[in-house]
Amino acid sequence: MKHYFLILISFLIISCEKDCKNLKIGTFELKGIDGTIHTIVRNEIYQTEYLNDSNIVVQYNIKWTSPCSYEIYNRKVLSNLDFNIEHQDTIRFEITEINGNVHKIISKFKDIDEVYENSLQKIK
């Protein structure tokens, strides 16, 4: 009986682990704090963000630092070149929860103490 209990506990622990492999590449939508929708296209090398209401396109290099954590850095503004982002170039993300095609993230700009929480929905 004790062995069955240990097997059950082991199974529950393993099943609670996040599997972020499916989130490394794809197209996602993020609702900004101002209510605007941002489209994010991610591949192995780049994350490109389309700030839909303002026709701004920004591209970052992406580096996965663990199975569910990544950094974006080396920001390049590809359209609307007058656009300026006040924060530092490097942003760190951790995927904290996955529920179907929606995942919750926390993000933090390098050298800034404030942490942001948001959700991304995978659409492709």
Domain definitions of the chain by residue range: 20-122
Predicted structure pTM score: 0.77
Name the average pLDDT for the chain: 83
- pLDDT, one tens digit per residue, over 5-37 is 434 344 334 344 689 999 999 999 998 778 888
pLDDT at position 63, please? 97
At residue 92 the predicted structure's pLDDT band, cuts being 50, 70 and 90, is very high
Give the other-Cβ count within 10 Å of 124's Cβ: 9
Number of alpha carbons in the 13 Å side-chain half-sphere of residue 34: 6
23-58 burial: b if 16+ Cβ within 10 Å, else e: beeeebbbeeeeeeebbbbbeeeebbbbbeeeebbb
20-122: CATH class: mainly beta
